[in-house]
Amino acid sequence: MPQSPSYENLEIVAASFCLEGEPKEITPYGNGHINDTFLLVCEDGGTEHTYILQRMNHAIFKNPAALMENVANVTAYLQKIISEKGGNPDRETLHVVKTKSGENYHEDNCHNFWRVFPFIEHTFCLEKVENASDFYDCALAFGGFQRQLASYPADTLHETIPFFHHTPSRFRDFQQAVAADALGRASRVQEEIDFALAREADTHILTDLLAKGELPLRVTHNDTKLNNILFDASTRKALCIIDLDTIMPGLSLYDFGDCIRTGASTGAEDEPDLSKVELDLSLFETFTKGFLKGCAGSLTPLEIKLLPMGAKLMTFECGIRFLADFLSGDTYFKIHRENQNLDRARTQFKLVADMEKKWKDMEEIVRRLS
């Protein structure tokens, strides 16, 4: 990862973009773990214009040009759809600010890759579900995202991270981490390893259906956490989907499932006390209801039927990724304390086990709401 840029260099970078006014102030912004994000304030004749300036992490996103082509094309499409429906495209989707040479991003002399979006004023993000209404609005937003992009040709998008949500590939990575046992940790977590190995047959259920053409390939966000939605500060309603780095071809079920695993769990993702972790069926129902309403008939009957499987597999996939990283020496997911990735894996597996106990209830909720 390159060193953090100086503020002098940031002004040079900012000057490469088509901005309103001259850079006045540049400060670090947000708490993201992947990209370096700055709030850029420009002044034009006494009027301030605010932007988000980001350096893309090309250690993770190895083809920034392809990534930004995805983002620019999808956001331009969304702007058109939102306008046609009488919405406000300036607030309801991101806009890519072009460079002065007409590009979607700027590459500096140190081979860092930068982009700019207008800052959407009077909004906020939520880090966790505070009430059922917020989670319902989150579901409406991600369901609406599916509906808006239902006709977009998913196969024209680049894979910014190949096999990102491809559970069989993630399972093979996990098996390799177990076999390598780089730090000799496997003997400490044999129970967790056995839990994962016992569910190998589940891993290819959705990808097999995709390969057979029984599930459609869709434009998917692939990181549908609550904090990737901007809420309107006045109405407290979900307004705009952000963080489109992983927008690529995928399965709607994974987008649904990622929100369930993060938002409908009663415990934190790294909760050491597993007695605090279970699936909140009320929140599962709240999210399912909002997601289906947001999708507004754009999902197939089979996609709807398999929503519980999307929740289970997305949770399981994250669990094996956390466990594989623990076995490999915590090289991918950042940790802030010892055994944090192990605790993350255990919470996901506890959530999977609880879903299995509540499987008939989950299926009945989906049947009733569809």
DSSP structure string for 89-109: HHHHS--PPPBTTS-SSEE-T
Q: What is the DSSP string of 268-285?
A: -TT-S-GGG--B-HHHHH
Q: What is the rounded distance in angstroms from the CA atom of residue 289 to the CA atom of residue 292? A: 5
Least confident of 20-34, 113-127, 250-264: 20-34
Q: Are 315 and 356 in contact (CB under 8 A)?
A: no
Residues 228, 331 contacting (CB under 8 angstroms): no
Residue 306 CA to residue 363 CA, distance in Å, equals 8
Give me the residue label for tokens 């992947």.
34
pLDDT band, very low/low/confident/very high, at 130 (cuts 50, 70, 90):
confident
- Give the whole-number percent of the chain exceeding pLDDT 90: 89
Summarised one tens digit per residue, pLDDT across range 311-369 is: 999 999 999 999 999 999 998 888 899 999 999 999 999 999 999 999 999 999 999 99
Residue range 168-183, pLDDT digits in tens: 999 999 999 999 999 9
CA atoms within 13 A on the CB side of 204: 8
pLDDT band for position 6 (cuts 50, 70, 90): low
Look-up: residue for tokens 């994974």? 254
Inform me whether the pLDDT recorded for 203 exceeds 80. Answer: yes
Beta-ladder partners of 248: 220
Q: What pLDDT shows up at residue 4?
A: 59
Q: Domains in the chain, please, with CATH? A: 7-119 (3.30.200.20), 132-369 (3.90.1200.10)
How many residues comprise the chain? Answer: 370
At residue 2, the pLDDT reads 46
**Residue for token pair 């197939």:** 300
The CA-atom distances, in angstroms, between 273 and each of 18, 194, 220, 325, 329 are: 51, 20, 33, 20, 23
**How much is the average pLDDT of 184-209?**
97
Q: 47-56 and 36-44: which strand pairing? A: antiparallel
pTM score, whole prediction:
0.92
The SS3 call for residue 176 is helix
Instruction: Judge contact between 261 and 315, C-beta under 8 A.
Output: yes
Q: What is the pLDDT of residue 5?
A: 59
Q: Which of 36, 11, 12 is nearest to 24 (CA)?
A: 11
Mean of per-residue pLDDT scores for the chain: 94
Closest CA to 65 of 20, 111, 100, 109: 111
- 238-241, strands of its sheet edge to edge: 123-124, 229-232, 238-241
Average pLDDT over residues 193-220: 97
